[in-house]
Amino acid sequence: MRAAIPFARKFSYGTSKGDNRAMWLDQKTSSILVAALAVVVLGSCVQSTGPSASEDAPHSKDVVPAQSAPAVEILSWDQAQKRRDRFRGKVVVLDVWSTFCDPCVREFPNLVKLQDRLGNKVACISFNTDYTGAKDEPPESFRKRVLAFLTAQDARLLNVLSSDPNEEFFTKIRLGGPPAVFVYDRQGKLVKRFDNSQVPKTPEFTYKNDVVPLVERLLAQPDPGRQ
């Protein structure tokens, strides 16, 4: 049975030229209205038979956000330590480095590989010490250089550019200079600091021989938070 069109206007056929024109306009108007109604009805049918937006979209808890491009934050050492403390429950590897330090640059790709390989079990942080404290070279002036290096390494970590002048920073933590790697257990306790400034002189540390084996040993230990 054909559905009634409630908004179709009634008209009578006339014999005059004006009546014929009015009749033609009424017919044209009705045709347009019928076509519009058909589009609305057809659209309703398509929506009723197809999957709803809520059914088609994945649940929010199942959505894994895409990893962002490398970025860098300007923080002091104390601020970086507060950020590190948020990673309780994970083994944390904090790498103190500089773009002017050859051993740092040579070993940095291994920091990135460690994060990529162990994923959510570890949290890797890079702490850059390029800033010297010169008045005409604020920390922000080093961002471009540091970010270019991080991008080339695809270092999608927590990357920090130190706002502490490097010599003051090294004195504060009693470090002769970069590189240095701090490894923390799941409870946030410092387990080991690797650096090349020990006296007497020791062989340079590497991720392969020193950092990675320690991280794997810590991960192999029972997690107190899950007991």
Cis bond upstream, residue 200 (ω within 30): yes
pLDDT at residue 225, as a whole number: 67
pLDDT above 90 as % of the chain: 62
Nearest to 125 by CA among 48, 170, 71: 71
Nearest to 162 by CA among 118, 131, 185: 131
Mean pLDDT for 69-91 is 95
**In sequence order, what DSSP letters do the residues of 130-196 get, joined into one string?**
-----TTS-GGGGHHHHHHHHHHTT--SEEEEE-S-HHHHHHHTT-SSS-EEEEE-TTS-EEEEEES
When the pLDDT of each residue in the chain is averaged and rounded to a whole number, the result is 78
pTM, entire model: 0.69
- What is the DSSP code (8-state) at residue 84? H
pLDDT at residue 133, as a whole number: 96
CATH number of 68-222: 3.40.30.10
Q: Are 219 and 121 in contact (CB under 8 A)?
A: yes
- What is the DSSP code (8-state) at residue 3? P
- Please tell me which residue, 223 or 19, carries the higher pLDDT value: 223
Least confident window among 10-14, 24-28, 139-143: 10-14
Domain ranges of the chain: 10-50, 68-222
User: Rounded CA gap, 157 and 151, in Å?
Assistant: 11
User: Rounded CA gap, 30 and 175, in Å?
Assistant: 87
Neighbour-count burial of 165, counting CB atoms closer than 10 A to its CB (0-12 exposed, 13-18 middle, 19+ buried): middle
Cα-atom radius of gyration of the chain, to the nearest Å? 34
- Please tell me which residue, 5 or 67, carries the higher pLDDT value: 67
Least confident window among 50-64, 72-86, 203-217: 50-64
